[in-house]
Structure 1
Amino acid sequence: MEPIEVNAGAWYLRALRADDRVDDRPALADGGVTDPDYVATRTAQWAADEHYSWAVCQPNTGELLAEVVLTPAGSDAALTGWARTGHEDALDTALEVISRFAEGALGFTVSRG
């Protein structure tokens, strides 16, 4: 599946990026994710329908505040996420929005892990 952007009210959810316009790697490192291939891995996982991940961003700046990951397994899907320090509210909102999206638009039964 191609990455899907989602409006979550105060937050904007999009695929992770590391290109000449947006580079999420510094924010990922701030959250403890230091693998230099992390963004490329997440991009490949979208294409392979293994994991769908969203950068939870501040809409004015595009700064990554949290990440939400949906892992499909048949008709079920596990929903997980993490937030940079001080941005747990963005994560909580994104988890709710992606849970509804996964159940309503994608037909998954979602569990939080």
Structure 2
Amino acid sequence: MEPVEINAGEHYLRAFRHDDRVSDVPALVEIYADPATKRYMTSQNIIDAASAEMFVLLMSNGWEKDYRWSWAVCDAVSGDLVAGIVLHNVNRRLGSAEVTCWTHPAHRGKGVLPRALNAALGWAFGAKDMHRIVYKHAVANTSSQRVAQKCGFTLEGRLRDEEIIDDQRVDQLSWSRLSTDPVPEQLP
């Protein structure tokens, strides 16, 4: 499947890129050098340009094989990478997936991710006929909790000792949004 671009107002969602015209590699390295990103995004280990290039390749492969859908969320004017969204663990038979997302430190608290994630969810529920999207985050990650709430996810429970952060086992909160749930009317 070809990557899908989505217009989300002040931002647009496109495939992650590393080619002779556009490269998300420097921004990915910068984002993952941020202490908060490093702390909570433990499943992806982007530490340098080579690992960022591998990440872009893996995201591209997901589109190609239609098992993972990912977007670089970019400023509509500058084209700068400001956030990322990945729908993974896609199960087409069940119509389910899990979302992972992050925001560039310079763009946090501006509502970028809730608007972009809502746009991506609209595509997943509409174009791909998904039924259930799961969102998980460490209990201490209150920014992720606000994103889940703003995007209409419902808290389902607490996963005990689900993740390791700062060399300590921590609980995660698990949220879901169904295709039948009401779309949030207004995003702050």
TM-score (norm 2): 0.57
Unpaired runs of at least 5, structure 2: 33-45, 137-188
Q: How does 1:14-33 map to 2 (within 5 A)?
A: 14-32=14-32, 33=46
In the alignment, does 2:116 pair up with 1:99? no
Q: Which range moved further: 11-20 or 42-51?
A: 42-51
Partner of 2:134 in structure 1?
A: 111
Partner of 1:59 in structure 2?
A: 76
The 2-side partners of 1:106 and 1:68 are apart by 16
Q: Deviation of residue 67 (structure 1)?
A: 0.5
The 1-side partners of 2:58 and 2:97 are apart by 19
1:1-43 CA distances to partner (integer Å, 9 max, x unpaired)?
Answer: 2100000011110001111111100000111133131111111
Unpaired runs of at least 5, structure 1: none
1:39-73 CA distances to partner (integer Å, 9 max, x unpaired)?
Answer: 11111111112211000000112111111011212
Q: Which range moved further: 12-21 or 84-93?
A: 84-93
The share of aligned pairs that are identical, in percent, is: 38
Partner of 2:61 in structure 1?
A: 44
Q: Deviation of residue 112 (structure 1)?
A: 2.1
- Is residue 79–residue 99 contact of structure 1 (8 Å, CA) maintained in 2? no
* 3-state SS of 2:106 partner: coil
Considering only CA atoms, is the larger Rg found in Structure 1 or Structure 2? 2
**Where does structure 1 differ by over 6 angstroms across 4 or more consecutive aligned residues?**
none
Aligned letter for 1:5? Answer: E
The 2-side partners of 1:76 and 1:44 are apart by 19
Aligned letter for 1:6? Answer: I
- Is residue 80–residue 112 contact of structure 1 (8 Å, CA) maintained in 2? yes
TM-score (norm 1): 0.92
Partner of 1:6 in structure 2?
A: 6
The 1-side partners of 2:17 and 2:78 are apart by 14
In the alignment, does 2:102 pair up with 1:79? no
The 1-side partners of 2:13 and 2:130 are apart by 19
Q: Deviation of residue 94 (structure 1)?
A: 1.0
- Is residue 4–residue 15 contact of structure 1 (8 Å, CA) maintained in 2? yes
Aligned letter for 2:128? Answer: L
The 1-side partners of 2:80 and 2:122 are apart by 24
